[in-house]
A and B are shown apart, each in its own frame.
Chain A
Amino acid sequence: MSGRAGEEKPEAAGLRAILDANADGVVVVDQDGIVCFANPAAEQLFARRAAELIGSPFGFPLVAGATTELDVIRPSGDTCVAEMRVVEIEWAGRPAYLASLRDITDRKQAEAQRAELIREQARTIETITRVGQAFAGALDEDQLVQAITDAATELTGAQFGAFFYNAVDEHGEAYTLYSLSGAPREAFERFPMPRNTALFSPTFRGEGIVRLDDVTQDPRYGQNPPYYGMPEGHLPVRSYLAAPVVSRSGEVLGGLFFGHSAPGIFTERAEQLLSAIAAQAAIALDNARLYRATRDAVRMRDEFLAAVSHDLKNPLGAIKGTAQLLQRAVRRSNTPEAARIGDGLQRIDAIVTRMTRLIDSLLDITRLQMGQSLPLDRRPVDLVALARQVLDEQRPSAERHELRLEADPPELVGVWDTARVERMLSNLVSNAVKYSPNGGEITVTVGLEMEPEQSWAVLVVRDQGLGIPAADLPRIFTRFERAGNVVGQIPGTGIGLAAVRQVVEQHGGRITVESQEGVGTTCTVRLPLAPDPVSDTASA
C-alpha cells in the first residue's frame, strides 16, 4: 500500500487520511466497478481486509446521488444491512464513485421487532373481539362454556383445556367438570375432579392467572394426598395456565385450565389472551344465566296462568249451573220476591259469563305465547244479533252510559268462532264502558263492505271516554301493556285488547284504533265473512 501511496498527489493523501478516520465505511469504485479504496470501517463492515477488497469487483449497483440499502453477506455467512450513499468524485485523476456505507443492522432489527409486536397486538385484539362477539351471541350455557374452552385452548396454544364449575361439594372439595377441549372426557373421568389443592384453589378463589413453565417444578405441586402430584395415567402436564372466571357480582363462576406436555409453552401473550377471554366469558356466562332465569320465569308464569285458568272453570261451572237451576225454580212461583231473586240469579249468571270470557282470553293468549295452536270452531253466526246480545249483557253494568247499536244490514252472517267473536265484542264494549268513567254514548256500528275478492263485516265501537295518548297507541295491543293515562287510575290487566287483536287476526281480520285524549276512542274491526283457506291458520 505504501508504494501506491507514493504515486498519489499530496491532496489525495490528505483525503485518504480523512476517509480512514471516518466512522462509516467508505469504498471508492472505479468506472469499471472495481474497488480501488476501502477504509477500516468498510473492512469491518464487509469483514474483509482492504487488500482483499481492492482490485475486486464491488458487486453492488452504484447510482450517484441515490441512497440504497444493501444486504451484505460476510465470508462467515453472517449478514448485515448497510445504508449506502453514492457520490461521483475524481480519484487518481479519473472519474470514480465514492460509496459511504453505514451499518444499520441493529436499527432494522428493532424496526422489525416493533412491527411484529404491533402485528401481534393487532392479532390479539382481533382475536379477543372475535371471541367476544361469538360469546355475546350465545345464550345456551352448555354451548357457551364449550365455545369458551375451545377458543381459549386454541388461542393459548394448549394441548388440552377444561372449564370447571366452581361447585364445591359438601366436603368443600370437588369441582364439577363442565367442558373439555383437546382431550376426551374419559381422560379426566377416571380421576377425581381438580381438587381443592394448593395449586388449584387460588383460581377458584378468583386470585388471578397462574402461569407456570413447568408445573412439576412449582413448590405448590405434589403437596396434596392422595396422589402427591398427578395420578398415574393423568394427561401429562408440564406447562400450566389457569384463569378464574369472575362474574359482575364478584362470584367466581369457575376456572379455565390449560395444559401442555412440554414445558415453557405458555407465553405472556397467551396469558394476556386468556385474561381477556376469561373476562368476556364471565360476561357471556352472566348473560346466559340471566337469559335462562328470565325464560324459566316466563314459562312458569305462562304455565301458572294456564293451570289457574283451567282450575277456575270447575267452580264457575258449578256457580253458573246452580244459578240457572235456582232461576228455573223461582220462575215456577209467581211472587214479587221470586222475581227479585230471579233477577239476582240472572246477574250472577251474567257475571260468571263475563268472568269466563276473561279467563278464556287469558288462556288463549297464554297458549299462543306457549306456542300452542288454537283451532277455531267456525259456524255461521249473525254478528248483529251477537252485538245486540253483548250490549244487552253489558247494560246493567253501564248505568251512566247510553249503549246503542246501529246495524246496516239488519243481519250479517259470517262463518266465525262464535265464542271468540262474542268475547272480542264483549271486550271492546266493556273497554268502552270502563274507560269512559263519566259516562257518555257508546255506539256499536255493524256494516258490510263488499269487495270483488272478499266481503268484510265492519264493526266499529266508539266511546266518548278518556282516550289513549298517541304515544301509547302502538303498544296497547301488546299483552300486559296499558295506556299511560289509566295505569294506577282504572284497574286492568292489559289482556283485553291483546285478546281482541288475537281473535281478529286469527279470523284473518284487521283492527285499527283512533283516539284522542279527552275526546274518545274508536275501534274498527274488519272481519272477512268467510275464511280464506290460506290465511286461516290456527296460530295466527
Chain B
Amino acid sequence: MASRPSEPDYGSAEERPAILVVDDDPELRHVIRWALEEEGWAVETAADGQEALEQACRRRPRLVILDMGLPRLDGNGVAAGLRTVYGDSVPIVVITADGHAVDKARRVGAHAHLSKPFEIDDLCAVVHQALST
C-alpha cells in the first residue's frame, strides 16, 4: 500500500483506456481507485460532473463509476453526456448514498448499481461483470 500512486500522477498519459471514477468525496474516490488498481485496472478520477464529462470526452473511458449526487452537473447529466458522445458503448455503474439506487440506475440505463457504503468485493464483481459483457 505504500507504493500506491497518488491521484495527480494518473490520467491521460496512460495508454490503455481507464475506468473513470466520479465522486465528490475525496476519501471515497481514493478507496475506489485503490480497489480497482489492485485488480489491475487503470483508473482516472473526477470530483464533479463537469470535470467527469470533460475527461470522458478527451479520452473514452472503459467504464464509469458514477455517484449520482454531484456538484456542477449531477449524475443524470453525466450519463446523458456519455450517451450523447459514446452511445451505449461505455458501461455505467451507479453509486448512491440514498436508498434510491435501483431507480436512479434504471433511469440512466446503468449496468449495475451500488449503495454506499458498499463491499469492495461487490464493487470488483460488478466492474468485472460489466467489462466482460
Q: Which residues of A contact B (CB under 8 A)?
A: 310-311, 313-322, 324-326, 328-329, 352, 356, 360, 363-364, 367, 374-375, 377, 419
Contacts and interface: CB of A to CB of B under 8 A. Distances in A.
B28 A318 contact: yes
Contacts of B27: 314-315, 318
Contacts of B115: 419
Contacts, number: 72
Contacts of A311: 97
A375 B31 contact: no
Sort A-B residue pairs by CB-CB distance and give the 5 closest, nearest first: A321-B31, A318-B27, A317-B117, A313-B97, A317-B116
B25 A324 contact: no
Contact of B119 (A315, A322, A324, A329): A324
Contacts of A319: 117
Given A314-B97, A321-B120, A326-B1, 17 more contacts: A310-B97, A314-B28, A314-B116, A315-B27, A316-B117, A317-B118, A318-B25, A318-B30, A318-B31, A319-B117, A321-B32, A321-B35, A321-B118, A322-B31, A325-B31, A356-B117, A363-B99
Contacts of B97: 310-311, 313-314, 317
Most buried by B among A316, A321, A326, A375: A321
20 contacts: A310-B97, A313-B97, A313-B117, A314-B25, A314-B27, A315-B27, A316-B116, A318-B28, A319-B117, A320-B117, A321-B28, A321-B32, A321-B117, A324-B119, A325-B31, A328-B38, A352-B117, A375-B100, A377-B102, A419-B115
Interface of B: 1, 23, 25, 27-28, 30-32, 34-35, 38, 69, 97-100, 102-103, 115-121, 123
A125 B70 CA distance: 63
Interface of A is mostly: helix
Contacts of A322: 31
Nearest to B29: A318
Contacts of B1: 325-326, 329
Nearest to A420: B99
A450 B31 CA distance: 47
Most buried by A among B31, B32, B118: B31
B113 to A, nearest CB: 10
A142 to B, nearest CB: 34
Most buried by A among B27, B117, B119, B123: B117
Contacts of B98: 310, 313, 363
Contacts of B100: 375
Contacts of A360: 99
B121 A324 contact: yes
Contacts of A367: 99
Contacts of B123: 321
A351 B118 CA distance: 14
B104 to A, nearest CB: 11
A318 to B, nearest CB: 4
A326 B2 CA distance: 12
Nearest to B113: A377
